[in-house]
Amino acid sequence: MSLSESATIELKREYTTDINKAVIAFANTNGGILYIGVDNDGSVVGVPNADAEMLKTSNSIRDTIKPDVTMFVDYQQEFINGKTAIKVIVQKGTSCPYYIASKGIRPEGVFVRQGVSTVPATETAILRMIRETDGEKYEDVRSLNQELTFSEAAKEFKTQKVSFGTSQQKTLGLINANGIYTNLALLLSDQCVHSVKLAVFEGTTKAVFKDRREFTGSLLRQLSDVYEFIDRYNRNRSEINGLYRIDKRDYPPETVREVLLNALVHRDYSFSDSTLISIFDDRIEFTSIGGLVRGITFDDMMLGISVARNRNLANVFYRLTLVEAYGVGIPNIMLSYEGCAAKPRIEVSDNAFKITLPNVNEITPKAFLSKNEIVVMALLKDKEFIIRKDVESALSISQTMAGRILKGLLDKGEIRSVGGGKNTRYLSNK
């Protein structure tokens, strides 16, 4: 019998730790057979103690490779040309990528078969294998970083008297069925790679910075730190009503909390860009990555219909009593400005979600509409929505002037916008 190496056959003269790499490569690619006791040229040298060699090989594969690949590996003793060799049969696994536990899910730990060679997988190939195995849902996918710590999360769970042991982490979705950390675990870990960038501006434009910060670490830590930072700029102003002094914050604290939670829980973490918060004298803008979840319309959202993009993350925040179980967030945000001339403004595009909270202490009494603004509002009585060109045509004005009129109506809370750029649609708030 003559043997030679191929895409599905690997020959080893004796046991070495490189055998684990070959097993990983076969399990990650199309399966294969590994012979121990056969030289690279195909000559059979045999193994001196087949039982001991087989035990050593199986123990190494079991202890070194993650996820558990043992159910896809079979061991046989084969008598070839008068000598005993070990035949290791590897099937393609169902939990790719398999990797060297000490190296992690990185090119130095993940291997594939390329011709007759076992080679490190590229990062692109690793991500493709993860998506094919775990699906497209970000929070369920295995984290590329498996060296995670949870000091901040453990502190928050302890404060809320919620258990945070291994069994609870599995139930919550931080650890998958193979005992591997998911991206949900990454979001709650001290090593979270996503951040919130916050800037404070002088006046009502972005011309002059007053302060700026970037918040990193566990989302639970970011939530606390960002809220505390915003609160420092949420001034308390007083007015006298008869004999009494009435104190009023620039922004309702419970509304700031609700919007911040919305930005962190519902953003699309498959994108690496930061959540952005901008504080001006007259407003705060919260911009997060990810538009509405597929199947949900703007009107659905305003009615309180909620479909969580990150269901497990929302469940963690619910367990910690940080969010409500149902979609009451947006209706509550709007309700908190009841009686105010200006309302929170919500803008949605395919890939972004923005909520603007007006400074209630800067809101002037509701202004009368100009003649041009009245014409625009009349257009919306007959149409579900309008675009800028409709305003240009109805008033015979320039693109710039139409934009100013629409912005004025947005600022007065008369209309809202959906989409972005030339595809922006304007709907009545009446």
Share of the chain above pLDDT 90, in %: 64
**pLDDT tens digits for 364-374?**
555 567 889 88
Nearest of 373, 267, 371 to residue 313 by alpha carbon: 267
Pick among 1.10.1040.10, 3.30.450.40, 3.40.50.880, 3.30.950.30: CATH of 9-134 = 3.30.950.30
- Topology classification of domain 196-303+320-358: Heat Shock Protein 90 (3.30.565)
Residue 339: per-residue pLDDT: 75
**pLDDT tens digits for 238-255?**
666 555 666 788 999 999
Nearest of 252, 274, 221 to residue 357 by alpha carbon: 252
Residue 131: per-residue pLDDT: 84
Residue 351: per-residue pLDDT: 86
For 136-293, list the strands marked E by DSSP.
Answer: 196-201, 209-215, 236-241, 244-249, 275-279, 283-289
Residue 343: per-residue pLDDT: 86
Residue 167: per-residue pLDDT: 95
Structural domain 371-428, CATH architecture = Orthogonal Bundle (1.10)
Nearest of 407, 409, 401, 403 to residue 373 by alpha carbon: 409
Assigned token pair, 397: 């004005």
What element of type H or E holds 37? none
Residue 244: per-residue pLDDT: 60
Q: Range(s) for CATH 3.30.950.30 in the chain?
A: 9-134
> Rounded to two decimals, what is the model's pTM?
0.70
Residues 6+ apart with CB under 8 A from 80: 1, 3, 38, 44
Q: Range(s) for CATH 1.10.10.10 in the chain?
A: 371-428
**pLDDT tens digits for 106-140?**
999 999 999 999 999 999 999 889 888 887 789 99
Task: For the chain, list residues with pLDDT below 70.
Answer: 1, 238-246, 325-328, 363-368, 430
Q: Range(s) for CATH 3.30.565.60 in the chain?
A: 196-303+320-358
Query: Is the CB of residue 386 less than 8 Å from the CB of residue 379?
Result: yes
Query: Is the CB of residue 158 less than 8 Å from the CB of residue 164?
Result: yes
